[in-house]
Amino acid sequence: MATLDLRPLSLGETLDRTFTLYRSHFLLFFGIAAIPQLLVLALQLVQLFLGSNAVTPGNRGAAPVIRPGFAGASIAVGLITIIVVLLAYLLAQGATVSAVADLYLGRTPTIGESFRKVRRDLGTLFGVAILNGLVVAVGFILLIIPGIYLTCRLMIAVPAAVLENLGPRSSLERSMALTKDAAGRAFAIFLLYLVLLLAFAFLIQVPVSIALVAVRGNPAMFRLMQGVADVSNALGTTLITPVFTIAASAFYFDLRVRKEAFDLQMMMNPRGTIAPATSAGSLLG
């Protein structure tokens, strides 16, 4: 497989490359996003099943009785689901970044290999997510605009962590350094992702939500439609999430080409590996 051309890309070219990569390697990226999402969906359906069996009818018109142990089991499954959702998202993000990097380097990535490469980085990615969330939250607490700005500046923290083997703080600092004077393009990528999410919500989630309201008086139909909602949400997440991660990865490579002559580094690197950053910037950069 030939390497992708490493050159400065305009915003339009970055988005075009994103959709070209996704379309050309759809099964790869869809599979990476789908595998952890299936686990999340399974836990959601378990919660739905527990809810449907939580109450037993009372005798001779008495009030329904909650089955013993249901509350504890429901809380436990709920907490496990939250943890699995976060880990699934991080794994899928990291594996997608790894796959994009392989494509840039002319390799042929597989789903299994992409997950294996980021398995050891899960703790780092968790730290990046927590630290990223705290920094952005502070920005939103101060005012909405600083929060949006910081979100854009920290867009490529995950690619930096995965591809340069950086710790959580260094990954955020690296993202801040590379995205200096490039927040506008990062915002456009986020805007595209938001438009895709809203389009999915309008086409799929809104009709399902209306159906849920329509059958709320029928417990059996309500549970069925809730299951349909969970499945449709999992499908939408699986389809849309790779777009953002591929775009962020392409943006990362573009910034390194523009600011660090990464294309020349790759020409002089016969092993085809991605050299780590020589220094990181500052969170105030």
What are the pLDDT digits (tens) for 231-260? 888 888 899 999 999 999 999 999 999 988
Helices of type H across the chain: 11-24, 26-52, 70-104, 111-119, 122-142, 144-153, 157-164, 168-178, 183-200, 206-214, 219-260, 262-267
d(CA 47, CA 34): 20
150 to each of 41, 147, 165, 179, how far by Cα in Å? 31, 5, 22, 10
Given pLDDT bands bounded at 50, 70 and 90, which one contains residue 279?
very low
| Of residues 82 and 74, more confidently modeled | 82
pTM: 0.82
The pLDDT assigned to 284 comes to 38
The pLDDT assigned to 285 comes to 43
d(CA 228, CA 236): 12
Region 212-229 average pLDDT: 79
The pLDDT assigned to 74 comes to 65
Q: Is residue 171 pLDDT above 70, yes or no? A: yes
The pLDDT assigned to 70 comes to 54
Q: Is residue 278 pLDDT above 80, yes or no? A: no
pLDDT digits (tens, 9 = 90+) for 102-125: 998 888 999 999 999 898 888 899
Q: Is residue 270 pLDDT above 80, yes or no? A: no
Please give the share of the chain, as a percent, with pLDDT higher than 90.
40
d(CA 90, CA 67): 36
